[in-house]
Structure 1
Amino acid sequence: MALIIKLLAGILLGTFIGLYAPHAVTQLLLTFKVLFGQLLFFTIPLLIFFFITSGIASLPQNSGRLLGKTLGIAYLSTIIAGIVAFFAASAVVPMLAPESADVAGMTGTILEPFIQLEIPPVFNVMTALALAFIFGLGIAATRAEALKNLSDQGRDVIKVLLEKVIIPFLPIYIAGVFAEMAAAGTVFDTLKTFAVILLLAVVLHWIYIVGMFILAGLKSGKSPISLIKNMLPAYFTALGTMSSAATIPVTLKSVKSNKVNEDVANFTVPLCATTHLAGSTITIVATTVAVMVLHNALVVPSFLTMLPFIMMLAIVMLAAPGVPGGAVMAAVGLLGSMLGFGETAIALMIALYMAQDSFGTACNVTGDGAIAVLVDDQAKTETSTS
């Protein structure tokens, strides 16, 4: 919650500086934004490589069928959530944005940073994804402990970088983005659309949760209302922790109160805490459409153009870092490589996502409870027929 407050303070401070401060102050903030952005984009391919490699290599090897079912449901759930978010945002957002909206608009002053510095990434995002799957599957197949330890240690290094450097300095980075927009004269149109898209994302989260538990109730013969009621402690805990992993003890208790087999609950809840991020996907897809509409260098794509992005995003979400903002950090590379997002558009995405991260996490955690019910029902069905 402190991070959200700092982020909102960064938006307000950046807007004030861009509107009223001397240009030199705004340029100083822009200089930080540019330098920090270089570090961010250098880190993203490494994040994708180490986290996905470590995630695949760490999957349990002695529970194949249950593992496959759980991951399959989580992946399908994430894709459906992304598709629903795309259609909802595509219908709502264009009605909110002015026809001439442009986050890099020319109605005000266009300022340049004092220093320009380039830090090229070691490899691009798609190379990172390909390497991650090759090494992750290879380590799992050959049980190469040295490579497994290397991937785990690399993941830990990037996680420390996220927690100690990138996430804490994000509010200043976002302040630089809004200072630039305020100086250019586009900040108020952007903020108006921000408020509506955040509300839309939260509404979509609840539609998704209700839909998942109606399905789980139909499959298991249990009351969806009762199932949701039992998951509310996990939902509200996640609002505070902003972390699916930190909420696992409460999620486990809530899932078991829904009469899920203890072994199934103990397996699915920790696994889904790091692999099932449907709520985060809803927010990312909805905010992607919003930023595209606001930025006239981009247009809202067709569904067939967006579907590959959603499918790749669902894969990346399977191994997104379990820290506040980790999901959007993992998605940054795909936004640039698949949808052509530049630095300003990506910064807007980060600001939008971080402002509602707690609600996305709460949706993720609650959805884990529905998946546990579905997996438990499937396991019971197989046991009774065997």
Structure 2
Amino acid sequence: MIDSEFSDTPYIKNLFGILLGLVLPSPAIRIFVTFSSLFSKYLSFVIPFMIIGFVVTGISDLRQGAGKLLGITTLIAYLSTIIAGSLAYLMATNIFPKILNFASFAAVENPEKNLLTPYFEIPLAPMFDVTSAIVFAFIMGLSISWLRNRGEGQTTYNLFREFSKIITKLLSTSVIPLLPIYIFGTFMNMTYSGQMFATLSIFLKVFVCVVILHVLYVTALFTFAGGLSGKNPFTCLKNQIPGYFTALGTQSLAATIPINLECAKRNGISPEIREFVVPLCATIHLAGSIITITSCVVTVLMMNNMSYGIPTIFPFILVLGVAMVAAPGAPGGAIMSALPFLGIVGIASNSPLASLLIALYITQDSFGTAANVSGDNAIAIIVDWIYHKFIKK
């Protein structure tokens, strides 16, 4: 996982994109559209390597005695993510039709019809898909962990550890610095097409609902964890405030881990559990992100009169809970990992609608990251209780 200076200025980039989209001629805007198109293909190519680079080393770092904890923590994190996504779907389908005016968006016609096209495109297919990368990462990670417990596998471990460093360098030098330009170009194109202000008027209400659900879900997690462990949930929530605001400001799970460990310590979580669960959940537990992504996806489907029933959305939520394991601790990591699976709901991963989702997600990613981080410590309380109650002898 990596940190990024991009998190400091996403709103400024988006504002400039909107303003310049109003005044620049189409030939100039198409330069940025061309860059966004090329960068989108590059991201699709890099994503499977991101999964392997981060997940293999994360799992292989687990040593003897961590097998049960890995299974328990992974199961709880996955269930929490799926529950959060399901709640977001229920909120979107029951509340959004009552508070949103989709007629303003419909007046813009087909959003893909009015967007500018790039000057040229370069075909760049990923070497393998994301599902294959996830399965491979889990197989290799668990196998390397098993070998290391037998005193073997160090060479293989070092190979993937160095590969992880390569991916981190790749992201910090060629992906994260260029991501603001990608978002910049997307907003310019949306503004030029005439859909920007209609879209923002809709999504502003969506984001308010999303943030409220973030807070309610994190509160429910701590209430459950406190009731199970005998800890005061309100005290635990109070102790979590520094972690929440650190994530809100940095927009990075990785940057928040040290602060989150201190929050876990204040909540009385044992050292062996907090030092295991908090970094692991920073990768596998993204309840806040799935709330945002599900809400935005359902809204986009509503906008375009596409199917958003349970048979369409629930499989997407189930897959997303696994796919986001690959999300790095950088702005937009969750939506980038979700990108290849948008086809499940009928949105092509390289379409303008996908670009719209990326741009809208990243503009408020800090709130999702803060919810993720806070939920991690609630899970740590639960795992700590299970460990001392049933596992530790």
Q: Normalising by structure 2, what TM-score?
A: 0.87
- 1:230 corresponds in structure 2 to 239
- Aligned-residue sequence identity (percent) comes to 42
Rounded to whole Å, the distance in 2 between the matches of 1:160 and 1:166 is 9
Q: Deviations over 1:111-162 (max 9, x none)?
A: 3322222212112223333333333334334454343333333333222222
1:47 aligns with 2:55: no
- 2:27 corresponds in structure 1 to 24
1:101 aligns with 2:105: yes
1:331 aligns with 2:335: no
Correspondence 1:315-326 to 2 at 5 A: 315-326=322-333
Q: Deviations over 1:164-202 (max 9, x none)?
A: 222222222122222222222211111112222222221
- 1:304 corresponds in structure 2 to 311
- Segments of structure 1 that go 5 or more residues without pairing to the other structure are none
- 1:13 corresponds in structure 2 to 16
User: Are the counterparts in 1 of residues 7 and 331 from structure 2 also a CA contact under 8 Å?
Assistant: no
- 2:133 corresponds in structure 1 to 128
Aligned residues: 383
Correspondence 1:149-298 to 2 at 5 A: 149-296=158-305
| Residue number among 80, 83, 99 corresponding to 1:80 in the alignment | 83
Shift of 1:264: 2.5
1:363 aligns with 2:371: yes
Shift of 1:84: 0.8
User: Are the counterparts in 1 of residues 14 and 184 from structure 2 also a CA contact under 8 Å?
Assistant: yes
Correspondence 1:112-123 to 2 at 5 A: 112-123=117-128
- 1:62 corresponds in structure 2 to 65
Distance 1:116 1:212, change over 3 A: same
Q: Deviations over 1:73-119 (max 9, x none)?
A: 11211111111112112233344242473687369855332222221
Letter matched to residue 230 of structure 1: N
- 1:352 corresponds in structure 2 to 360
| RMSD (Å), alpha carbons | 2.7
Correspondence 1:131-150 to 2 at 5 A: 131-143=136-148, 144-150=153-159
Q: Deviations over 1:202-242 (max 9, x none)?
A: 11110111100111121122222122112112212222232
User: Are the counterparts in 2 of residues 82 and 282 from structure 1 also a CA contact under 8 Å?
Assistant: yes
User: Are the counterparts in 2 of residues 4 and 355 from structure 1 also a CA contact under 8 Å?
Assistant: no
Report the secondary structure of 1:246's partner residue: helix
Letter matched to residue 68 of structure 2: R
Distance 1:253 1:112, change over 3 A: closer
Report the secondary structure of 2:255's partner residue: coil
Q: Normalising by structure 1, what TM-score?
A: 0.89
Distance 1:60 1:355, change over 3 A: farther
Rounded to whole Å, the distance in 2 between the matches of 1:63 and 1:4 is 34
User: Are the counterparts in 1 of residues 21 and 187 from structure 2 also a CA contact under 8 Å?
Assistant: yes
